[in-house]
Amino acid sequence: MGKNIVQKIFEEHLVEGRLEKGSPISLRVDEVYTQDATGTMAWLQFEAIGIERVKVPLAVSYVDHNMIQSNFRNPDDHVFLQTAAKRFGAYFSRPGNGICHQINLERFARPGWIGLGTDSHTPTNGGIGMIAMGVGGLDAATVMAGMPYEIKMPEVVLVRLTGKLNRPYVTAMDVILELLRRLTVKGGVGRIFEYGGPGVEDLTVTERATITNMGAELGATTSVFPSDEVTRAFLRAQGREEHWREIKADEDAEYDMVVEIDLSGLEPLIAQPHSPDNVVPIREIAGKRVNQVCIGSCTNSSYPVMKTVASVLRGRKVAEHVSLHINPGSKQVYEMLARDGSLADMIGAGARMLEAGCGPCIGMGGSPGTGHISIRSYNRNFRGRCGNKDAFVYLASPVSCAVMAVKGEIIDPREAGIEIEVVKEPEEFLINDNMIVPPAEDAGSVEIIKGPNIKEVPLKEPLSDTVSAEVLLKVGDNITTDDIMPAGAQVLPLRSNIPEISKYVYSQIDPTFSERALKTKAEGGGIIVGGENYGQGSSREHAAMAPMYLGIQAVFAKSFARIHRANLINFGILPLVFKNPSDYDLLEQGDRIVLDGLKEAVQHSKDFIARVQGKDHQIELTTDLSERERKLILAGGLLPYVKKVISEGQDA
């Protein structure tokens, strides 16, 4: 039996386990990268472990989220990140150099590698033939400290592509929106999407990266394309052809599921509020007045994308009631646009040019007005993520966005009467790495500088045998990490200060949550009850760390998103699944729950019985913990466990 791409790469990196669906496997990792919103805590955790230098072949620390410097917090964090990278052996990408995933694709990603990033859109690098997965900062820190990465072997889904895109009006964004339309935001949970078929050769590396980027919105573990001559040409144009290797599936490779997409049959699509899977053809909702358009983000900010957008805007004017925001993905992209005249076309049309960073995608500026419609070429449109919960965010391709900015309404770009340039990947990119700082050769000479907002990493006590805790909040299906721990200009600068940031936990759903949780912490702590796909979205570990600080002992849910489940375990919070989903209806906010015999249940993988005091309810819960995950829960989380392992010289 032949092997697929995932099996081939995993085999090369397998430390322990068997590549059987659902089995725990440990993998050697080639690269770890962080971004500043999650990276500050990741590097504090690495420091707390006590290792002198990173033990992976490549580590990179990026700054792309907290770019607004309205007080001392963000610049202080940037100094900490730069000095920590220099001291511990990582490259540092300075503020303004661009978005981590775009730069990593340009300058560092390699076919056949396994990479981890402290951001859920790390799978962007799958466009180059790399297995790249989003993880929490603590997972990244422990891997940088020399430990393998453990994961349960996912299912592998073949997305078989045929035909060719009807460029320029249909783009790679429409491919992934079509998948989201079919499979929903839960369709990728426990799966890796591997792309194949004759349609693959029609897609450039940056188009492939757009598709793998938004595999995160499917809930997928990651997504990956073959590494072929298209990949080789991209790496040659980036001046690093030596990093190329061919990677393809065997002819007789087997898959757990096959999805067929005819690229020729796709039309321009749009995701309506407030979920990336609420997808319809643009023509079905044409005519709505548009107030704002945002183009860029890690999904759609490459040079070919931006040059195409410039061709739409050239000689035209942004509609007077529309605010157009554009953020190119990297300094490389920005400089090339400036040199070829595209930047002038954008500015001339009335675009508001932002620096190369995440910006409006995470609510860092560019918030729409109350009741306004914002069309974005981004990856998420959860309510409130844009900075205004009373706005309506739609997701569409950059071409569609640019056309709507000019026309001032939702319109199928094919009906706009605008001639659009078809832009190919350049044969040579402009290479200028002067904003990437290498690690110090003499690490001992580097002082790590911490500002007053940077606080110590909080730790949880080992698991108690009995928990008596109050249900502090009951929420529904598809709760996002944005719901749990909001982003935005007010909150993101507090990522290195857990006591302060914990005040914002669930603030958009229940402003009293944090205060109530702290009051119950000394009385046994709290429990959160959720529905399906609890914790979807961003990889932000603060959505687990801050609840841990507030005394949350467990989350009861019908199902969990992969990264958030891992983060809960990393911080000693039990992720428990209702054995009977209808038991969700039996619980109410304010109920007091008693869980007895926890240590034995965890050690021996038994089901959990939750007693509801004052009611005749006993609720069965389960959790499929691996052997290592059981150790983490018993220890109070990953950091206490790793510190103990390293101090005692044990095998993790």
Q: What is the pLDDT of residue 651?
A: 55
What is the residue type of 44? L
Q: What is the pLDDT of residues 110-156, one digit of tens each?
A: 999 999 999 999 999 999 999 999 998 899 999 999 999 999 999 99
For residue 323, the tally of other CB atoms under 10 A from its CB is 20
Confidence of residue 20 (pLDDT cuts 50, 70, 90): very high
Q: What is the pLDDT of residue 495?
A: 81
**All domains of the chain, ordered by start, with CATH?**
5-265 (3.30.499.10), 275-415 (3.30.499.10), 467-648 (3.20.19.10)
Q: Which of 66-80, 370-384, 387-401, 439-453 has the lowest mean pLDDT?
A: 66-80
Q: What is the pLDDT of residues 476-485, one digit of tens each?
A: 999 999 999 9
3-state class (DSSP) for residue 530: coil
Q: How far is CA 631 from CA 361, 450, 461, 649, in A?
A: 37, 32, 13, 16
Q: What is the pLDDT of residues 502-511, one digit of tens each?
A: 999 999 999 9
* 153-174: b (≥16 Cβ within 10 Å) or e: bbbbbbbbbeeebbbbbbbbbb
Q: What is the pLDDT of residue 489?
A: 75
State mean pLDDT over 20-39: 95
Q: What is the pLDDT of residue 96?
A: 95
Sheet holding 149-152, edge to edge: 14-16, 24-27, 149-152
Containing H/E element for 634? helix 627-635
Total-model pTM: 0.90
Confidence of residue 67 (pLDDT cuts 50, 70, 90): confident
Confidence of residue 71 (pLDDT cuts 50, 70, 90): confident
Q: What is the pLDDT of residues 356-401, one digit of tens each?
A: 988 888 877 889 999 999 999 999 998 888 888 999 999 999 999 9
Position 308 pLDDT exceeds 80: yes
Report whether the peptide linkage leading into residue 168 is cis, meaning its omega lies within 30 degrees of zero: yes
Position 70 pLDDT exceeds 80: no
Which residues 6+ apart lie within 8 Å of 416 measured at CB?
403, 406, 407
What is the residue type of 604? H
For residue 441, the tally of other CB atoms under 10 A from its CB is 8
Q: Which of 318-327, 409-418, 519-528 has the lowest mean pLDDT?
A: 519-528
